[in-house]
Each structure stands twice: as structure tokens, then as C-alpha cells.
Amino acid sequence: MTILREKKTGLLAIDNLQPLFVLVSLFLGAINLLLLLSLMIATYRVAGRPETRLVQLVDGRSVLTEPIDHLERSPETIRRFTRESLAMMFTWNAVTQVPGADGGVQSTTDQGVDVDGGMVTTRSWQASFAFSEDFRAPFLDGVAEMTPPEVFTGDAQSVFNVTTLSDPLAVDEGEWVVELVGNLIIFDQETPRGRAVPFNKEILIRAVEPPSDPLAEDATPIQQAVYQVRSAGLEITAMNELIEE
């Protein structure tokens, strides 16, 4: 006896793939929803973390940082750059300290650097890289005229003393003016107690791109000094006599 079964039609038909397609779509949709939820949770966790401000430098030091515009500099950075650059420019001493072959420090006599027939100390020449190119050469000529020849024989030396240094005043985007009142104190055989030369200037400073590539391990002391001078991302573009009101 043959039993005839009724052939199913519609959604229940054997050759109908629509139910399978619906099930697969629901399964994939559930997986997609889970992935979106996990992504939202991960994003929330990242957003809730404290801002990363600690940066480790190539020399092993760690410093705190904060995001700023590429032409923005903090007042303290500008003041420190001004003070350190001029102190390096006007502190003259025949005996300098340079890295030794054994990793220590050794003393050497500064022979100076010839600038258009005049002589400046090596440190003054290094400090001149804190100045813009169009201002650097004439300023070095003036420093050479001020530097006593006795500096290079060890019979004279100087100290740059800053009395007051104003907060920087923004005059344009990435440009500032600071007012400095100080003295260049020169010690020699005639004035062992020192003689003070007033140094009262209005100094114009602008932001520049700091060197980004780290120095090679075999960089010379002069290369290291120049790199350090430019690392603040600032340069001095002009100086005017400070007029007291």
C-alpha cells in the first residue's frame, strides 16, 4: 500500500530558503550588535582615562607635556629662553668644560672663534644660534667688540646678571616682546672687583620650528650645544635700547 504525503508549499516548502536566510540574518545582526556594544564600551573607557602628559625623552628624562598650537609658547618658556641665551652669550671664561673621552668632564682653554676679524668665545658663538640669521651676524660683530682680548688669556672674565625680566607681551601670532634690565660685569686685572656695563634692552622673540630629529650619538659638543639652543623653538630677531619712561 502506497502512502502519499501531501507536498508542503509556501514557507514550509523544502526548497524554500527564505526561513534559513532570515535566521542567518538574525544571527549576523546579533553578532554585529555585540561588536557595536563592545566598541562603545572600549571608547567610553578610553575617553574616561586621564590625559597622557608624561613623555620620555631620548636621553632618559621624563617630562610633563601639554598640547599647544605650533606657534604658542608659555611665558615661562620665553623667559627662560631669553635668560639662558643671553647668559650663554655674555658669560666669558677662557676655561671651559667639555666631555672627556672617558665619559667625564675635562677643562680646556677656549681659543675663541673668529668673526669677521674679531674674536668671540666659543660659548658666545654657540649662543648666537638662538638668534635669527639676519640678526646673528651683526650682533656677533658687536659682541666681538665688547669682548676683552684678555678673556682668551685667562686674565679677564665676565658674568651676565639679570635684574628684571618682564613677562612676554604678544605683538603678533608667534611673536613677543620682553624687557630686560641687567648688567654685564667684567672682571680683569684693573678692576678685580668687577665693572658693570648696563644692559637694558627691549628684545623681540618669535616662535620657530624646534629641531625634531635626535642628534647622533657621535655628535660633537658644539653640535650638542647648538641643538640645545634651538630646542626651545624660539629665536631672537632684534634688540632695541630700553627707554625708561
pTM for the model stands at: 0.70
Q: Sign (positive/negative) of CA torsion 183, 184, 189, 190?
A: negative
For domain 71-241, the question of CATH label 3.10.450.230 is answered with yes
Mean pLDDT calculated for residue range 75-98: 89
Which pLDDT value is given to residue 23? 78
Which pLDDT value is given to residue 244? 66
Mean pLDDT calculated for residue range 216-240: 86
Which pLDDT value is given to residue 215? 73
Give pLDDT tens digits for 133-166: 999 999 999 999 999 999 999 899 999 999 999 9
Domain spans, the chain: 12-48, 71-241
The percentage of residues in the chain with a pLDDT greater than 70, rounded to a whole number, is 76
| Nearest of 216, 222, 196, 200 to residue 127 by alpha carbon | 222
Give pLDDT tens digits for 2-42: 444 555 555 555 556 677 677 778 888 888 888 888 888 88
The yes-or-no verdict on residue 1 having pLDDT over 50 is no
| Nearest of 202, 154, 185 to residue 91 by alpha carbon | 185
Give pLDDT tens digits for 27-38: 888 888 888 888
Which pLDDT value is given to residue 198? 95
